Every structure is written in C-alpha cells, then in structure tokens.
Amino acid sequence: MKNNENHTLVTFTVTEDNQNIRIDKYLTNVCQNMENFTLSRSYIQSLVKEGAVCANNKIVKSNYKVVKDDEITIAIPQPKTLEIEPEDIPLDILYEDDDIIVINKGKGMVVHPAAGHYSGTIVNALMHHCKDNLSGINGVLRPGIVHRIDMNTTGVIVVCKNDKAHTSIAEQLKVHSITRKYEAIVYNSFSMMEGKVEGPIGRHPIDRKKMCINHKNGKDATTHYKVLENLGTKYAHVVCTLETGRTHQIRVHMASISHPLVGDDVYGPSKDKFKLEGQALHARVLGFIHPTTNEYVEFEAPLPAYFVDLLEKLRR
C-alpha cells in the first residue's frame, strides 16, 4: 500500500478461487479481510463509476469480471475532515454498548445531513454523544449510519460504533434477515385481515422525488401486513413486516392497494384533516444478530403520543 497526495492506492492480485466475478463483488470480498479499513459494496461501486479502479493499469467499468492473476488497484480517497458539527441534542436511547447504539427517533428529525438539513440531525447528536466512536463506512456525512427511516417516520434505528459492527449489520440487511415491524394508520378498512404486497420499487419516471412500483427499473420488494384493528370503515391500524427495505416501501405498497397512510401527502390525499406532521408510521420492532455476541437481539420503541392520540380519536 502506498499513498499519493489525495488517495491511498491498494493493490490486489486475483487468485483462482476469486476469478470470474464482478469487480465490485471481488473488491468487497477482499477488502473485508483488511485490518485497517472496510469498504461497503455501494461505496466500492461509486469508486468504480468514478474511474478509481484499475485492472492491469486500465480503468474498468462496473461489469468487468476479474481474471486469475489480474492486478487490481483501487484508489481510495483520503478521509475528509468532517464539517458536520456535533450538537448537544437529546437522544432517546433504547440500548447502547461498545458496538451499537439503538435509538427511538422522534418525528421530524432527519437521520443524517443532506441538502437543507445540515444541523439538528441524528448524526449531529451522535457526534456529540459518541465523539469519535462511530463507523466510517458510509462517509463523512453519515458516520455510523447503516440504515435510515424517513424524517416523519418515528421509531427504532440502530447506529454502528465501529466498522466491524457496520459490516455485520449491513450484510444482514442485504440478505433480508433483520426483523423490521412497523405500525401504521391507513385509510379504508380491510375485509382480509392479513396479506402480502409484492411489487418492485424504483424511482418515479416523471416525479423524481417520488418512488413507485416500477417493473422496468425497480428492485424487488415485499411487505407483509396484518390488521390490528379496523377503525370504522374509513381507517385501520396495521402492522407491516418488511422482507426488503426499499425507499418509501410501506408508503408505496400500502397506497398501491388503496390503503395509503394517514398524513402521507405524497402517496395519499393531499389534504389531511388531522393535520399530522407527515405519515402515521412508526418503526416498532428491530431485531438482528449482535455483531459481537452473535446472539439475536430485539428492540421495541413504544408508540409515540401523536399516534396513540390519533388511534383514540378514530375509535370514538
């Protein structure tokens, strides 16, 4: 390994047991065995797109398959100084140890900094609470963040304090082995008390801020739902269990079967008589294999006050 001014250059020689696989998968495999850092597959894919990966001194594209004795070089940018400021923001911590911190996220709070939200995020709060003890895999704007929920969705998320924990939980997310149960209040009562929605989710072809069921460019997505309570004929309280975790998955899937979430002005009615701050959706349960103990752990975030109040109103 040698450094230039702006990058760390890392070189590997492809062995027989790793040949004939895509370059991103190959680098993900070999980088997992390195002691100094870990790179996620999505980050490696971005480096490939940027022309930062070479095979035998020639830049390769993402569909390149490695061959035995290929000399693969990856130019990894030097870490940037994080410009996001730590902020003393209270966190509702459900659990914490040396590897992970499990948080009950409040409504209206953004998980990580992005355009228009560079302060007041969970990351700002974590940087104050955890100091430097956050994984670095997802870059300078998302330290520790292995998954996220929407700004107006409440409930449980897990944050990783080191790269080992991050890699472990990211792999569980990838193979859909994590338990994720959400509670929602939706429009319209149900005659079938449980069911499954399947439909690939991708970017909306016209409105790029929205997701939709997109059979051409979407990724497979499956949501299981169970009705906890029909609230008259106009509303229902449901629990949704995710097999996959696509952007806006529950919101898109439930709207696709004529049960949009109450308060969701993107996929449901534009006007909400309850004047909610976004969709009535709560990440209730999160369960996974702990990255160090290798035991299954499960965490639950109680329903927030606004959700309970709305249920009481709809029961009257």
* Per-residue pLDDT tens over the stretch 124-169: 999 899 988 898 877 777 888 999 999 999 999 999 999 999 999 9
pTM passes above 0.85: no
Report in angstroms the alpha-carbon separations of 282 from 104, 215, 262, 301. Answer: 10, 28, 12, 8
Environment class of residue 133 by beta-carbon count within 10 Å: exposed (0-12), middle (13-18) or buried (19+)? middle
Does the annotation mark 207 as catalytic? no
Strand partners, 242: 223
CA-wise closest residue to 164 among 133, 127, 122: 133
Of the candidates 145, 149, 97, the one whose C-alpha atom is nearest the C-alpha of residue 123 is: 145
Q: What is the length of the chain?
A: 316
Catalytic option among 150, 163, 207, 309: 150
Q: How much of the chain exceeds pLDDT 90, in percent?
A: 69
Banded pLDDT at 293 (limits 50, 70, 90): very high
Q: Are residues 251 and 213 in contact, defined by beta-carbon separation less than 8 angstroms?
A: no
Tokens encoding 208: 């790029």
- What is the DSSP secondary-structure string of 88-138? -----EEEE-SSEEEEEEPTT--SS-BTTBSSSSHHHHHHHHHTT-S--TT
